Amino acid sequence: MGKRNHRMIENGNPADINIKEYFSVIKKRFWIIAVITIIATLAGYFYSAYNYTPLYQSSTRMILGSGDQDMNTLMVMIKDPIIMEKVREELQLNKSAEAIAGQIEVTRIDDSQVVNISVTDTDYEAAADIANATASSYKSEIVSILDFTEVQLLSEAKENPFAINETQNRTTIIALVFGLVVSIGLVFLLDSLDGKVRKDREIEEILGVPVLGVVSNMNRVKDSTKKRKQKDVNLRGEIVDIK
């Protein structure tokens, strides 16, 4: 009989029972999950806030009236040291011409004659100033360098106060997920180290015999009976010492 019930348990589908047990384990030690997740989230937030440096980007556009064979050369010349040095002097920047060139990205718009100059800086006002100064310096200097005059400024760079590297929220979310995963793993680890047998099904699986009944806690039953009798006596107005 015991072997047959044991086989039935093994052959049964315990998925529903396991899911309930998982939720029971989480509910029992939910405070651990909450504390670890909150600490990890706050740590991620303060870490990102302390190390976060906002970056701003501003762009200007020019039209270069040239054939495809000369476009690459004209685009390369935008970041030439001669142009960058003039930008540095014009804006009185406390950085080298190479550093300014490193902030600039030059791209061609859809194989057209329109060239986009984007500047990234920790100051959104400086980003716009460098972009505009680069375009104007290029227009004036390219004449003497390559004897090229077909440069037209299409649009000026505007100040953009919105950072392009909003990583603070992402770091906080990653920390939250990390804390949640670690805390849940810890909860199940603690549960696996707990040697107590808490379910009738666990007894059946261990011993291989069915559970016929459960003995209640006798002290709780006795206390409950005593309190009920005491209440009945009080209602009749009698004082009796019940043992």
Residue-range domain boundaries for the chain:
24-52+167-194, 56-155
Average pLDDT of 119-131?
A: 96
Q: How far apart are CA 230 and CA 107, in angstroms?
A: 90
Are 175 and 51 spatial neighbours (Cβ–Cβ below 8 Å)? no
What pLDDT score was predicted for residue 10? 47
Helices (H), the chain: 2-11, 15-28, 30-51, 68-76, 81-91, 97-102, 124-146, 168-193, 200-207, 218-236
What pLDDT score was predicted for residue 1? 45
Q: How far apart are CA 223 and CA 205, in angstroms?
A: 33
Above 60 in pLDDT, residue 4? no
What pLDDT score was predicted for residue 171? 86
Q: How far apart are CA 26 and CA 24, in angstroms?
A: 5
- Number of Cβ atoms within 10 Å of the Cβ of 66: 16
Residue 59 CA, chain-centre distance (Å), reads 29
- What's domain 56-155's architecture? 2-Layer Sandwich (3.30)
Which tokens hold the place of 98? 């190479």
Tens-place pLDDT, residues 91-112:
999 999 999 999 999 999 988 8
Which residues share a beta bridge with 152?
A: 63
Q: List all residues 6 or more positions away from 171 whose beta carbon is below 8 Å from its beta carbon.
A: 44, 45, 47, 48
Identify the CA nearest to 102 among candidates 121, 89, 126: 121
Of 92-96, 127-131, 177-181, 236-240, the poorest mean pLDDT is in 236-240
Tens-place pLDDT, residues 197-232:
455 555 555 555 565 555 555 555 556 556 665 655
